[in-house]
Structure 1
Amino acid sequence: MSGGLIALVVIAVVVVLVLLWGVAQYNGFVRLRNLVQESWRQIDVELHRRHDLIPNLVETVKGYAAHERGVFDEVTRARAAAAGPSAGPAEQATQENALNAALGRLLAVAENYPVLRASENFQQLQAELANTEDRIAAGRRFYNANVRELNTKVESFPANLVAGAFGFTRAEYFEVDDPQVRRAPTVGF
């Protein structure tokens, strides 16, 4: 075997290895992107569940505190904005922050009505809301972990070469900005 043929075989092996590496990186990006999208859909399901609970909660409180019209309107507006289409996780987080604040004010109004707090319907709605808040928090952690993994891979060398060549970009985190809103609304009995 001549030296030229050996060099050609070595070059061919190197090219094949680089191509296999590129395919593996591409498939890894596709897997991570799909995982991020799937985990966002799970958060979206829980957010819709939460948005569906809110009108029932408002109606229950409204039956006891009809004169608190401003609070009811605020919750309704915030829910409509949060339940509407959003551009992405960052915008959704902003809308959810406003909804959390409005819900906090609604639950504060409920504190002034002992009969309302004792209502079985109100207690069930509160428990369901708290459960949903916990599920949203768990989904947010899972989503953000997937986003972190994708973003790390998009930014890491040499994988970033494949990411740039095929248009894979960083994903947005789903974060709650306001420390006051970082916790689920609490209600004391």
Structure 2
Amino acid sequence: MSVGVIIGIIVVIVIVGLIGWAISAYNGLVALRNRVKNGWAQIDVQLKQRADLIPNLVETVKGYAGHESNVLTQVTQARAGVVAAAQNPNATQAQRITAENQLSRALFNLQATAEAYPQLQANQNFMDLQAQLKELENKIAYARQFYNDVVLKLNTAIETVPTNIIAGLFHFEQAQYFEADVADRQAPQVKF
């Protein structure tokens, strides 16, 4: 074999190797992007279940603590904001996350208000709804963690060499984390 043939074979092997790597990198980025979409969809399912549960919870609390209309109004308005953001095809993930964080704060206020009513705490319907809500909140927390883990993997792959080359060529964009709102990061004030 001549030197030219050997160099030709080496060039072909290198080209085939680069093409194989590029295909593998592209497929990896696509898989991560799809996992991010799946993670968001899982969060969305849990949030829909929470939004469906809230009217029952509000009605139960209203029967015992009807004069706490400010808290009930906050929950109702926050739920309406979540539903509107979920149904708006132009809503960004950031807008949806903000709406969900507002609802979480309103639900926290509702739970705190309900604690002031012993009869409500003893109501079986309220206890069942509260247990369902707690279970959903745990599922939402898990789904958020899964989503953020996958976002981390995708964003890291997009930023690191050499997959950043493929990500740039095919316009892969970083995904947004599901982060707590600034107000949620502050410790709640407890007054006695």
> TM-score with structure 2 length normalisation?
0.89
Corresponding residue of 1:125: 129
> How far 1:98 moved relative to its partner?
1.0
Work out which of the residue numbers 126, 140, 144 in structure 2 matches 1:140. 144
**Alignment-mate amino acid for residue 51 of structure 2:** H
Distance 1:58 1:42, change over 3 A: same
| Number of equivalences | 183
Q: Cα distance 1:182–1:174, how it changes in 2: closer, same or farther (>3 A)?
A: farther
Q: Which residue identity does 1:139 align to in structure 2?
A: A
Q: Does 1:168 align with 2:172?
A: yes
What's the offset of the Cα at 1:36? 0.9
SS at match of 1:169: coil
Q: CA deviation at 1:103?
A: 1.4
**Change in 2 beyond 3 A, CA 1:36/1:64:** same
Alpha-carbon separation, structure 2, partners of 1:36 and 1:121: 36
Q: Percent identity?
A: 49
Displacement after TM superposition at 1:85 (Å): 2.8
The 1:157–1:26 alpha-carbon spacing in structure 2 relative to 1, beyond 3 Å, is same
Give me the whole-angstrom Cα distance separating, in 1, the residues matched to 2:131 and 2:185. Answer: 18
Q: Tell me if the contact between 2:43 and 2:144 (Cα under 8 Å) persists in the aligned partners.
A: yes
8 A contact 1:89–1:173 mirrored in 2 = no
Residues 18-60 of structure 1: CA deviation (Å, up to 9, x unaligned):
0000000001011111111111111110001111111100000
Counterpart of 2:157 (choices 153, 156, 159) is: 153
- Separation in structure 2 between the aligned mates of residue 27 and residue 182 of structure 1, nearest angstrom: 41
* Root-mean-square deviation (Å): 1.8
CA offset digits 1:104-147 (Å, max 9, x no partner): 22222222221111100000011110010000001111111101
Q: Counterpart of 1:5?
A: 5
Q: Give the corresponding residue for 1:186.
A: none
Other-structure match for 1:106: 110
> Any conservation in 2 of the 1:81–1:95 contact (CA below 8 Å)?
yes
SS, match of residue 121 in structure 2: helix
Q: Which moved more, 1:66-75 or 1:143-152?
A: 66-75
